[in-house]
Structure formats: C-alpha cells, structure tokens
Amino acid sequence: MKKLFRTLVPGFLIFLVFVLASCGSSGTSGGSSSSGGSSSSSGSSSLNIAFLPKAINNPYFDTAATGGKTAATELKGTFKQVGPSTASASDQVTWINTLTEQHASAIVVSANDPNALAPALKQAMSQGIKVVSYDSDVAPDARQIFVNQANAEDIGRIEVQVLGKQLNYSGQIAILSAASTATNQNTWIGFMKDELSKPQYKNMSLVKVDYGNDDDQTSFNDTLALMQAYPNLKGIISPTTVGIAAAARAIESVNKGGKVALTGLGTPNQMRKYVKDGTVQQFALWDPGKLGYLAYYAAAALVQGKITGKQGDSFSAGTLGTKTVGANGTVLLGPPTVFSKANIDQFNF
Amino acid sequence: MKRFAFLRTWEALLVVLLLVAIVIGSSLSPYFFTGFNVSSLTRDLMEKAIMALSMTLIIITGEIDLSVASVLGLASVVLGAVWQAGVPLWLGIILVLILGAVAGLVNGLLVTRLGLPSLVVTLGTLGLYRGLAYVVLGDQAVSNFPAAFTNFGFGSVPGTLIPWPFVVFALLALLFIGVLHLSWIGRQIYAIGNNKEAARFAGIRVARVKLLLFMVSGLLAALAGVIFTARFSSARPDNALGFELDVVTIVLLGGVNIFGGKGTLFGVILSLFIIGAVRNSLGLVSISGDIQNIVVGVLLIFSVLGPNVVQSIQAALTRRHLAASSSTKKV
C-alpha cells in the first residue's frame, strides 16, 4: 500500500502540473497583470529586441552588443542579450523557446548550427516574432534577414594574401580554426584553400587544419603542438578571435615571435600587445560593434513593418546610412579592416 | 506516526522543492506556467531524463557511467552517416541502438571482467566514444533528415502539448519503476549497492547484473541520441557535449546515494523537473547560462548534503521516539 502510494504521488503531481499548465495557457492573456511587472515587454510593445549570441562572455559578441545598445538608444527601443555559457546549439534552442514565450518583438541570433536552430526559429516566426541572424547565419527559411559581417570570399582570401606577403610566398603554413563544424570558419577555409591554389602561392603549403574549438586552452595547446610537429612551420592563420589570441600567446611563450608569422581574425584590444611587440604584424576583422548596430536597425525595420526582408528592400541604418537587402535576404556590412601597428590605436573594441 | 513516514523522506522534500520552484517561477514570469512553456521545458529535458533512468540503476549498484553523453553523440553521428549513405532511417535507428548497447557492453566488460573502477573506465570511454564521433563525421554535420523524423523530435501528440519524446520517456519510466521498485531484479540491484559481498553470497550474479545495466545504459543513451538528432534535425559530433554531468546531477539531487544502495526513481523524476523548472524560470527572467550553472551547482551540493541532514533528523526523531517509548515502559 505504502509502495503504491509512493508510486502514485509523484506521478500524479507531474500529471497535475501538465493539466494546470494546459489550463493556464488559455488564461494567461487575461491574468498576467498580477505578475507582469517584472517583465520588460509589458506596456511598450514597440521595440523589444533580444540578441542571442553563440555564447555569452565573449568579447566579440559583447562588442556587438554594445553596438546593438547604441542603436536601441537611438531608436528608443529596448535591448537585451541572453545566451548559453558555452557555444552549444541545443542551449540556444532553449533560449529561442524562452524568448518566444516572452514575446520578444525580434530575435537577433548568431547560430551555433544553421539547421538545429531552424525549427525553433520557425516556431518563433509563426508567432509573429521577427528573426535576424548576424555573424553566423541560420537556414535561410528560418530568418527574415541575415546581416553579413563581410563577404566570406573577401575574408578567406585577404588572410592568405596578408600572410603570403609576410612570408614572401614560401613556407609551410597551418590553420587554427574554431569548432570543426563552425559554418563561418569552414566557408572561409574553403576560400583560403582556393586562394592558395593560385600560382603565386606554389611555394606555400598548407600542412594542417587544426580545430581549437574556440576554447582558449585547447587553441593554446594545439598551437604549441603544431609548432612541434612541423618545425619548419612559417605561418599560422587563425580565423577566430579566440584562436588568434591563444596562438599569439603560445608563439610568444616559446619565443618564436617573428619566426612564426600569425594572422587571422582578432579584435584590436585583444591583439594590441602582440602587434606592438611584433609577434603579429597584421590581422583583419570587421567592426563587430557596427555589426550589432546594423543588426539592431535591421530587426527594428522589420518590427516596424518598414521592410519585409525581400531583395531590394532598403532601410535607414543610422550612422551607417541606407542599407539594401540583397539576394537571400542578406544585408552586407562592408569589407573587413586590416589592422597593423599603424592604425590599431584608432580602434577600441 | 508510521502513516506519515512518507513526509519525512527525501522525496517529500523534493515535492516541496518542486512546488516552490513552480511558485517562484510563476511569480518571476507570467510566461512560466503556460502550456507552451511547460511543453518546451519538458522537451528540453527528455534526453537527459531517459539517460537518468538507467544512470539511477547504475549508481544504486555503486557504479557510474560517465560515457552516456559521448554514446549519445556517437549514436547521433552514426545515424547521420548511415542515413547519408542511403540506409533507410528505421534500419539506421536499429543499428545505432545496437551500437549503443555494444558501447555499454564494452564499459560493462571492462568493469566486471577486469575489475576496473567504473569511474575510470567510463571516463576513458567518455573520451573514446566522443573521439570516434569526430572520426565518423569529421567537420561535417548531417541535417537533411525527413520531416516525419524531425517532427517526432519537435512535434507534440496531435491535439495536445505533450511532446512525443515525453511519451517515450513516460513509457520507459513506467518500465524502469516496475523493474526497480516492484521486481526481484530491483531488489538485487539494491542488494548489490548495499553490500556487494553479501549479495554475492546470497546467490546474486553481481557481475551479470552490472553488465546488463551498462548495456541498458548504452542502449538508452543511443535512444536519447536518436531523439536528440530528431529534435535538432542535426547529427553533429559535439551533440550533447557535457550532458553526462547534468544527468549525474539529476540523479544525485533525486536522492540517489553516490555510494550506492539508496534512492528511488520517483526522487530522480522529481529532481529532473526541479532542475528543468529552475533553469527555465531563470531563463525567462533573462538570467544567462553562467548564473544558471551556479544555481544548479549549489543544488547539487545541497543534494549531497541533504540526505545526510534528513538522515540525522530521522535518527534524532527515532531516538526521541525510542526514548519516549522506553520511558513509558519504565513507568
């Protein structure tokens, strides 16, 4: 009897939660006033835009968030950034569901996996929430607009060109990437390989593509391992902000600054020290602050019904001027900036 | 006194904790206690829930299986790889379930035949199986699964908000409750956890039971992998990275003793929903992942401390009870 009781009670409670919840869903529209005070969405229905980066506490996305905040202030909207603590697609799906439930007016997302996020984003869109992807795109039918930081081809080629020049077009090079499944990095690496196949690079050979998983420790150790495995290694391209910083530290730790050239994508604040001491001569990046700024403006234009995200739509993006939606709902930020000793002090992010 | 013994158990405390979590969640956000939210909260938990069932049994025998999330990942990519190679999906699912059982069998053989500690063995296979997952698909991800399959992961029973994966979990939970709490196998499992030597002398085939449990654990992890793949329509080698710690957390918070011999599935199921409710309500008020991890971490420490506290209270009550009854006898 007691055993039966113990079996039934928890089961019944869980069942009860379900039943109550299903009842609750029909009644929330009327009864939310009692506790609606804690939520930001009550009252100002206009611009309640949430950024969902790949992971929080990442300087790159924090800079983008600063840009988003600036745009929010200009447009008198609200801005918030939420997200998982490690870059995981499944955690992002949880956050998308949460934001859907909060009735955010738009979700601005950088996808850890283009397809895994699609069903949840489609569900959000079916409830009237606008979806903008930035930095890393999702499946095109799961968002209205993709704010592209730079043309993938430009980025891939520019990094090889920068490194080629530094190495006088000869020697072994390696790539230190992010996760082996990262959409952006894989596309860029594709263009890097294409650029390397051109005749002027015939004396340069790509010996290894390594994956540091956007983890500082892993990237650091992998860089050391690369230099040990390939003693004649002349250069490393790290197309990820986490990787390039870890690689710079690793190169410096074994006093190979100047012997192993490093380039890739990094932020000026992160790389300033290594550029000034000569470990890194040049690296490239777009301004993530502007990326976040543009993404907020695009999301706002969608929410306010100024655009629908179809090709040819154009909208005002504050200090960036008028932007036009291109093919596949893509809005382009502009060409990447190459940073060196000469100009690095003009940037602070 | 005896009639209300239930109120003094860890499970009763968990019921209170769950209700508190629900009340706090509802007061934090008007969106917490809605059908859609509870449905998506539940859906998010199901892979961990399924793995927690077999993990409970394993921990009760005094062992642990840390390789579950890696088996999940491996199952996911193998399913993706064979589907991409043109194998029918149903056959692929059967294949990966067998693969999961074999992965569990390897764990079980290493633990029972070679007498190695399961913590070490499964820590090894945690890396091994995850590594194999990366070998199978490399830097690729398979995502072109048929809609019927992904709907199973993302959809609900028609006309309700009950997620399909929950149906799978509920059926399995009933089966596991039956086995652990109502059958002789369950009694053997508790006996092994309480005293392995005594269990062996009582004629229980300790090694065989453990081997079976590790196989079941691998099988369920592979099943969770199939569900995970369907839910995210994506087979990636890093699927469910780090889930094993969440599963162990759920089981321990559920009142299962890490040294074996004690705990119930009811407690585990309750703790599952407590962790789900806590994470979800924190999310609804836009508290990010790091803080959520802190809260869950504190909960875990609480779960290890908690049963000890309950035990000492129980002991104190019993002592007082005995003292009272002995003093009445004296008079």
**B97-134 residue pLDDT tens:** 999 999 999 999 999 999 999 999 999 999 999 999 99
- B156 chain-A contacts, CB cut-off 8 A: none
The ipTM assigned to this model is: 0.71
pLDDT the model gives residue A36 = 32
**A56 with B289: Cβ contact below 8 A:** yes
Residue of B nearest to A98 (CA): B284
Residue B331 lies in a domain: no
A18/B162 touch (CB, cutoff 8 Å), yes or no? yes
Would you say residue B206 has pLDDT above 70?
yes
Q: Count CB atoms within 10 A of the CB of residue A43.
A: 9
Closest Cα of chain B to A328: distance in Å?
20
Residues of B in contact with A34 (CB under 8 A): 30
The C-alpha angle with vertex B119 and arms to B207 and B130, in degrees rounded to 5, equals 105
Tell me the pLDDT band of B137, cut-offs 50, 70 and 90. Answer: confident
Q: How far apart are CA A33 and CA B92, in angstroms?
A: 50
Q: Please report, for chain A, the start and end positions of each structural domain, with discontinuous segments joined by +.
A: 45-149+288-333, 152-285
pLDDT score of B42 more than 90 = yes
- pLDDT at position B4 is 60
Residue B292 falls inside a structural domain? yes
- Please determine, for residue B199, whether its predicted confidence score (pLDDT) is greater than 70: yes
Decide if pLDDT at A19 tops 90.
Answer: no
Residue B271 lies in a domain: yes
Q: Give yes or no for residue A213 having a pLDDT over 70.
A: yes
Q: Where residue B329 falls among pLDDT bands split at 50, 70, 90?
A: low
* Distance (Å) from the alpha carbon of B308 to chain A's nearest alpha carbon: 21
pLDDT at A12: 56
Q: Determine the average pLDDT of the residues in A45-67.
A: 88
Asked if B232 lies within 8 A of A90 by C-beta distance, the reply is: yes
| Res B67 pLDDT > 90 | yes
pLDDT score of A40 more than 90 = no
Question: To the nearest whole number, what is the mean pLDDT of chain A?
Answer: 85
CATH 3.40.50.300 fits A152-285, yes or no: no
* Number of structural domains found in chain B: 1
Is the pLDDT confidence value at A38 over 50? no
**Using CA atoms, how far apart are residues B253 and B260, in angstroms rounded to an integer?**
14
Cβ–Cβ below 8 Å for A180 and B138: yes
Task: Provide the pLDDT for residue A6.
Answer: 56
Distance from CA of A35 to the nearest CA of B (A): 6
CB contact under 8 A, A56 and B139: no
Q: Which of A25-29, A228-232, B2-6, B36-40 has the highest mean predicted lDDT (pLDDT)? A: A228-232
Domain that holds residue B278: 2-326
State the Cα–Cα distance between residues A56 and A80, nearest whole angstrom: 12
- Out of A6, A89, A180, the one facing B232 most closely (by C-beta) is A89
B79 within a domain of the structure (yes/no) = yes
> What distance in Å separates the CA atoms of residue B292 and residue A85, rounded to the nearest whole number?
9
Inter-chain CB proximity A10 and B266 less than 8 Å: yes
Secondary structure class of B165 (helix, strand, coil): helix
- How remote is the C-alpha of B316 from its chain's centroid? 32
A45-149+288-333 and A152-285: same fold?
yes
Q: Which residues in chain B are closer than 8 Å to A21, comparing Cβ atoms?
A: 33-35, 37-39, 161
Lowest-pLDDT choice from A20-29, A288-297, B228-237: A20-29
Structure tokens at B142: 């398979």
- CATH code, B298: 1.10.3470
* Mean pLDDT across chain B: 90
Give the pLDDT of residue A25. Answer: 42
Mean pLDDT of A106-132: 93
Determine which of A56, A61, A101 to mutate to test the interface with B (most B C-beta atoms within 10 Å). A101
Q: Which residue does chain B place closest to A36, by CA atoms?
A: B30
In this structure, which amino acid lies at residue B104? Answer: G
Structure token digits, residue B192: 């092994």
Nearest CA to CA, how far is A50 from chain B (Å)?
10
| Percentage above 90 pLDDT, chain A | 61
CATH of A45-149+288-333, one of 3.30.450.90, 3.40.50.2300, 3.40.50.1820, 1.10.3210.10: 3.40.50.2300
DSSP state of A197: T
At A106, phi and psi to the nearest 5?
A: -150, 150
Q: Which residues, at least 6 apart from B266, have a Cβ–Cβ distance to it below 8 Å?
A: A6, A7, A9, A10, A11, B11, B177
A11 pLDDT tier (thresholds 50, 70, 90): low
CA nearest to B230 within chain A:
A116
A263 sits in which H/E element: strand A261-264
Contacts of B154 in chain A (CB under 8 A): 119-120
For residue A37, pLDDT beyond 50: no
* Structure tokens given for A235: 């250069």
pLDDT tens, residue by residue, A306-339:
999 999 999 999 989 999 999 899 999 987 888 9
